[in-house]
Amino acid sequence: MKSHTEKLEAKAKFHIYNRGINGEDIFKEERNYNYFLEKYAFFIQPIADTYAYCLLKKHFHVAIQTKSSEEIVKFYLETHPEKKTVPSVYKIISQQFASFFNSYAQAINKSYQRTGGLFEEPFRRILIDNDNYWAELISYIHTNSEKHGMVKDFRNYKHSSYHSHLSKAPTKLKREEVISLFGGEDKYKEFHINKQALLNLEKYMIDFDYVTP
C-alpha cells in the first residue's frame, strides 16, 4: 500500500495531494484550472473547508479541514434521501473525493479524446496533527510553483490561493482564519517571502512530490 494514505476522519486537518497517472498533465490548457476549482467546490466544499491550494500542470496540493461528523452526515442524508443506511464518515469523505476526481477526469477525457483514469490512486493525504505546522504547510503549498520552476517568484503564479488570501473579493477559502494564523497580512507576506516553510515539515510532505512540472 502506498504511504501517506491516512484514514480520512471528521474535524481533522490534512495535506491532500494528487498527480496525473504516469506523469500526465492534469491541466491541459488554461481553462482547465477554473473548471477544476468549480468541480472541487461542488464535491469537496460540503465535507471540508479549504485553507490553501496550488494547482500545477501535473499535480495539485490543498490544505483542508474536514467538517464535523454531524455536518458530513447531514450532507449525505440531504443528497441521498433514498438511502436507508448511512455509511461511515470515512466512506462519505472518500466517496466525495472519488466523485470529484472521476467527474473531472470524465470531462478531460471527453474534451481531449482520451480514455481511462487521469489521477493516481489512492490519492495521498497526510494528517496534520500539530497546529504549529499548519502555517508552514500553507506557505509550502503556495511556494510550490517556485520550487518546481513554474515561475521565478511564487507571487507571480496565479493558480494558487496566495493572492486570494490578500484580496477582498468573495472567496470560498477560510481567508480570515489563514490571515489570523499568521498574525495579519504583513506577517503573512513576510512569512512566505522568508521561505520559513520546509524547516520542520518533513513529516508532512509527500514523499514523491519533487516531480518535473
CATH number at residue 86: 3.30.70.1290
Query: Which cell numbers in the block locate residue 39?
Result: 468541480
Measured N-to-C along each axis, helices 134-142 and 175-182 cross at an angle, to the nearest 10 degrees, of 110
Cβ-in-10-Å burial (0-12, 13-18, 19+) of 180 comes to: exposed
Domain presence at residue 1: no
* Structural domain for 114, as ranges: 13-204
Domain presence at residue 48: yes
pLDDT on residue 44:
98
* Per-residue model confidence as pLDDT tens for the chain (213 residues): 356 888 899 999 999 999 999 999 999 999 999 999 999 999 999 999 999 999 999 999 999 999 999 999 999 999 999 988 999 999 999 999 999 999 999 999 999 999 999 999 999 999 998 777 899 899 999 998 988 888 999 999 999 999 999 999 999 999 999 999 999 999 999 999 886 445 555 555 554 443 433
Domain presence at residue 212: no
Domain presence at residue 2: no
pLDDT on residue 202:
57
Which sign does the torsion angle of CA 194, 199, 203, 205 carry? positive
To which residue does cell 497546529 refer? 131
Total domains present in the chain: 1
Residue ranges of alpha helices (H) inside 113-209 are: 134-142, 144-147, 162-166, 175-182, 185-193
Across 3-12, b (16+ Cβ under 10 Å) vs e yields ebeeebebeb
pLDDT on residue 198:
53
Domain presence at residue 98: yes
Domain presence at residue 22: yes
Does the model's pTM come out above 0.75? yes
Domain presence at residue 37: yes
pLDDT on residue 6:
83
Domain presence at residue 5: no
